[in-house]
Structure 1
Amino acid sequence: MEVKCQCGSVSFKTPTDAPIKLYHCHCTHCRRQSGSAYGTSAIFTSEALVPLSPELEEKMSVWSRPTGTEQSKATQGGTEEGGTEQGGTEESEANQGGMMECYFCKVCGNRVMHRARDSRGSERGTVSIKAGLVEGLKWEGGVHIHTSTAVVPVPEGAESWEEGPE
């Protein structure tokens, strides 16, 4: 699948044909970074994407922030951003004291993806790509997380977690 920022300057293929998991995160941090009721992230393996190609590295800026605080309840998958092998949240115990690298397009400012490091500085095997940038993404089956702070109702019957998946 193709990933494109709003202006099209940042463009790349996803590492696989489908994400490991799709999360709709209702935490305060995701609401603020998305400017919406929740942030949606598609979790992919970082294989073939990290490290970034020189071309992508030139087109994106990076902002790093600490994880493990109330303000850092964003989604990130992997065994990335401590969760389960199916994906998890950066608020897992293994992620306390880690860092989240947030990648943005230098031209339009779109947040493109996240990559996390645990408290030991180790990278996880996943990246969290902002789902609205992924062309052809299947939105069915997304998991709603951090619903204890949701500002809109979670669809009836949807898989959901008051905090992150355990």
Structure 2
Amino acid sequence: MAGHGTETDTEAKPLAVRCQCGNASFPTPTAKPKILFYCHCTECQKQTSSAFGTSAIYTSDGLLPLSPDLAGRMKVFHRQTEKGRSMECYFCSECGSRMFHRIISADGKPRNTVSIKGGCIEGLEWNWSGSMHIFMRSAVIDIPAEFEQYETLPPWMKMD
């Protein structure tokens, strides 16, 4: 899905990802995310202390495994998800800002994508055409009908 920018993907540069205090930073793996989710699930509400979380989905190539320097600046929180999966949640060891997470399948295989938290991405195109609202069943605010939205996950995303 294409964004609204005038640059082509080959001309566009990765964006900077920074925690709140600046201790942990890295470039996005690509210039644009594969997709942008505004997630209204109760876990994202708790994690962000807000009405929803913003997750920009990128390939994990170039980010994971973490460089030794970045690994030394981050901590990982592991939590269980629905359907026997788990999630590795990476956050700054100084300020505690959640920066990204990765889902691990029930068979232990990590996904080849990461979900980078939108608020940490400098220059993120928030109204990108590839965005959608998910887990609307838990929404605490109304989202206008013209925005793509799903009660849980889009049908094409329901996997393992």
The TM-score, its normalising length taken from structure 1, stands at 0.82
- The 5 A counterparts of 1:50-65 are 50-65=64-79
Match of 1:20 in 2: 34
Deviations 1:30-89 (A, max 9, x none): 000000000111000001001111111100000101111xxxxxxxxxxxxxxxxxxxxx
**Which stretches of structure 1, 4 residues or longer, exceed 3 Å deviation after superposition?**
none
- 2:116 matched to 1:143? no
Deviation at 1:165, TM superposition (A): 1.1
The TM-score, its normalising length taken from structure 2, stands at 0.85
- The 5 A counterparts of 1:127-166 are 127-140=114-127, 141=129, 142-166=131-155
Aligned length: 139
Uncovered stretches (5+) of structure 1, i.e. residues with no partner: 69-95
The CA distance in 2 between the partners of 1:160 and 1:98, in whole Å, is 24
Deviations 1:104-135 (A, max 9, x none): 10000101100111011001110000001101
The CA distance in 1 between the partners of 2:88 and 2:109, in whole Å, is 13
Structure number with bigger Rg: 2
Q: Which amino acid aligns with 2:105?
A: D
The percent identity for this pair of structures is: 50
- The 5 A counterparts of 1:100-111 are 100-111=87-98
Alpha-carbon RMSD across the aligned residues, in angstroms, is 0.8
Deviations 1:133-160 (A, max 9, x none): 1011111132000001110011230000
- The 5 A counterparts of 1:25-104 are 25-68=39-82, 96-104=83-91
Q: Which amino acid aligns with 2:44?
A: C
